[in-house]
Amino acid sequence: MTTTAPAQTTSVPPVQRKSIRFPARSFMAFALAPEAPLHEWLEALDRWTENSPGFFAGRPVVLDLKILKPRASEVGALVAQLAERGIRIYAIEAMGIDSLGPDLPPVLIGAKTSVIFESKTQREPKAATAEPAAPEPREEAPASNSLIIQTPIRSGQSVYHPQGDVIVLGSVGSGSEIVAGGSVHVYGTLRGRVFAGATGNDKARIFCRKNEAELLAVDGWYHTAEDMEPSARGKPIQVFLENGAIHVAALN
């Protein structure tokens, strides 16, 4: 009589699968909104970048096509023209275009209204239409939540504070920048670039004790160093919007 040994059961340890994290990121992207005639808009962009070389380097830029309304087949050529100018498009906003193919940036879905930077310091009146378009609803200004910086901002540094005002107790170095949802106060010398009201606040202002700024912008409207009156250099100033134009005035 033969006996059979009982089969041995080998337990297999469970495989540990490493999960993949997809952390969210929030950042500001600048918007370019070309208008017809396109060649004139590109010429204006070239003049602007001559005054602020390297401004778009390393920045996420959204191409807003809701005004120009090109055909899908024309978008690639425009993206290429901007790339020749050193402007790399991160994403595209367009109406009536769902996809542009794998060779072009993605079309944004559900993006918020962008602040559009134009190459003029004063809005041009729009041509009259048979039925005036209703104004777009404007987002409310962010609640006051000031960020106080007690040390100087060195050259090349960036400060991004979309929730409210930025107050710098020292100076701001050349090549640096401040982006604020509210107003910006600099109690030393301002040599860099400042964007106040950057998330859509036309009541924001810029104040500084000594103006040596490279660029001053409020709610998307700007002055470069070349645009400013010589009398505003090296002086205490404030920058604000009034009657559709940006003003740089002495701070008394």
Question: Cα separation of 232 and 207, whole Å?
Answer: 12
- Sheet-wide strand order for 206-211: 147-149, 166-168, 184-190, 206-211, 237-242, 245-250
pLDDT tens, 135-186? 444 444 444 589 999 999 999 888 989 889 999 999 999 989 999 999 999 9
Bigger pLDDT: 50 or 148?
A: 148
Bigger pLDDT: 136 or 96?
A: 96
Residue 35: strand, helix, or coil: coil
Query: What per-residue confidence (pLDDT) applies to 110?
Result: 58
Asked if residue 203 has pLDDT above 70, the reply is yes
Q: What are the structural domains, with CATH classification, of the chain?
A: 28-119 (3.30.70.260), 147-250 (2.160.20.70)
Instruction: State the DSSP H helix or E strand holding residue 148, giving kind and residue range, or none if neither.
Output: strand 147-149
Give burial (CB, 10 Å; 0-12/13-18/19+) of 197.
buried
List, in order, residues 6 or more apart from 228 with CB less than 8 Å away.
211, 213, 216, 248
Residue 159: strand, helix, or coil: strand
Has this prediction a pTM greater than 0.75?
A: no
Residue 45: strand, helix, or coil: helix
Please give the torsion angle defined by the CA atoms of residues 119, 231, 191 and 243, in that order, rounded to the nearest 10 degrees.
-40
Give burial (CB, 10 Å; 0-12/13-18/19+) of 116.
middle
Write 103-111 long-range contacts (CB < 8 A, 24+).
103/76, 104/75, 104/76, 104/79, 105/63, 105/79, 108/62, 111/62
Percentage above 90 pLDDT, the chain: 41
Question: Cα separation of 143 and 60, whole Å?
Answer: 26
